[in-house]
Amino acid sequence: MINANDPSLTSWIETAANSDFPIQNLPFGIFKTQSSSPRIGVAIGDQVLDLAIMNKLGFFDKIKIDNSVFTNQYLNDFIALGKQTTSGVRDRISQLLQTGNPELRDNKEAQAKVLHYQSNVQMLMPVKVGDYTDFYSSIDHATNVGTMFRDPNNALLPNWKHLPVGYHGRASSITISGTNFHRPKGQTKPNEAEPPVYGPCRLLDFELETAFIIGKETQLGESISTANADEHIFGMVLFNDWSARDIQTWEYVPLGPFLAKNFASTISPWVVTLEALEPFRTVGYTQEPKVLPYLEYSGDRNIDINLDVLIQPENTEETLVSHSNYKFMYWTMEQQLAHHTVNGCNMNIGDMLASGTISGPTPDSFGSMLEITWRGTKPVKMKDGSERKFINDNDTVIMRGYCQKDGVRIGFGECKAKVLPAK
């Protein structure tokens, strides 16, 4: 029996100590080269393993997967094969890459065909996202926002500790890391006593989030329990849910975010499997008052994922503005999925469910500029000497995430995008 998470495993492919992609990770993504069409790859060190060619060369013969699955533009069909198969592929790759296995290690001809440096490939959207849901599940973030915009003594609305609040968002504008976008435009109301005005957003913000990808579909009318939720979650990505704060303030009553959110969201390209993240499970918040039975769960369901946000003004070095952690989530993925489907809402493979802004309990761990600068009253200084209240034109926002334990670092790669001036 293979344990692909074994911290003692090493690979014959050289992997730097601070690499996001050691042999214990093996995340899946979609890539293409100058000479190849889109296909499924797995990250190892600074390289990408071409699974379509691996399959053609017979390395997956015992698993028996049609090669069209590996040459697909998205991971959806691969994910649809089920966890027994996808985990089997990960285990087989782990076996092939281990230091003592000569099968691929000593086959230089095969290596030349199946290995590409990440710097030489283009990463594409890993999944076709049919539906996207964004939650609001960090208690520190919700408390900060409630304190700013309402009474600090009633920062959380009455429903917040009883259910994971969420809303259905726009899937078409979720883009892969490296996709730049123009500053959004819309209605704002800068002066309470005057009518609204139209123009570019002035208070553009990032939101530090993760997202999980549905790996097993349900039919209309079915519900997913917290106990079997993990069977329906394939893996996770980093997620920047860009937010136009001034547009949102004016438009969100009574139905919530619309133009303030649907212009762009950015994800990291590699999907880190839930299996790779299992060793980093940790205890979550004590949920008081007691949740309803369908939201109860057992065991440690939070995950210890370090999350960093950096801002890079044009032509200068990046500045760290937030160091947070996914373990600060009040509501777990399992609870979010159970709540999402308790009414019979059906889930499809590739659906993406985002965590909501992840803020920790201290200012250095806040997950948005809204909180970091406290509505612009405490500007943040960049390394080039400039200051930021929100995100300026030509700023690049970079998010990085990784788990670390027992000498193993499981990372997500980068989630980055540059803000171009409004069209």
Q: How confident is the model at residue 368 (pLDDT cuts 50, 70, 90)?
A: very high
Q: Whole-model pTM?
A: 0.98
Does the pLDDT value for residue 134 go beyond 80? yes
Question: Mean pLDDT, the chain, as a whole number?
Answer: 97
Which helix H or strand E contains 187, and what residues bound it?
A: strand 185-188
Q: How confident is the model at residue 2 (pLDDT cuts 50, 70, 90)?
A: confident
Q: How many CA atoms lie within 13 A of 29 on its CB side?
A: 30
- The pair of structure tokens assigned to 69 is 């699955």
d(C-alpha 255, C-alpha 19), whole Å? 43
Indicate if 141 belongs to the active site.
yes
245-287, pLDDT tens digit by residue?
999 999 999 999 999 999 999 999 999 999 999 999 999 999 9
Contact predicate 249/376, CB 8 Å: no
Residues above pLDDT 70, as percent of the chain: 100
| Strand boundaries in 246-359, DSSP class E | 265-267, 272-273, 281-282, 302-303, 306-312, 319-325, 352-354
> In the predicted model, what is the mean pLDDT of residues 113-139?
98
Residue 275: the pLDDT is 98
> In the predicted model, what is the mean pLDDT of residues 369-373?
98
Q: How confident is the model at residue 8 (pLDDT cuts 50, 70, 90)?
A: very high
Rounded to 5°, the CA angle 288-132-292 comes to 25
> In the predicted model, what is the mean pLDDT of residues 85-110?
98
Q: How confident is the model at residue 312 (pLDDT cuts 50, 70, 90)?
A: very high
DSSP string, 241-263: --EEHHHHHHH-TTT--STTTTT
Q: How confident is the model at residue 17 (pLDDT cuts 50, 70, 90)?
A: very high
Out of 116, 141, 323, 339, the active site residue is 141
Q: What structural domains does the chain harbor?
A: 28-124 (2.30.30.230), 132-420 (3.90.850.10)
Residue 304: the pLDDT is 98
Burial 317-327 (b: 16+ CB within 10 A, else e): ebbebbebbbb
143-183, pLDDT tens digit by residue?
999 999 988 999 999 999 999 999 999 999 999 999 999 99
- Residue that the structure tokens 């344990």 belong to: 3
Displacement of CA 151 from its chain's centroid (Å): 32
201-214, pLDDT tens digit by residue?
999 999 999 999 99
Does the pLDDT value for residue 1 go beyond 90? no
CA distances from 88 to 64, 78, 183 (A): 11, 12, 43
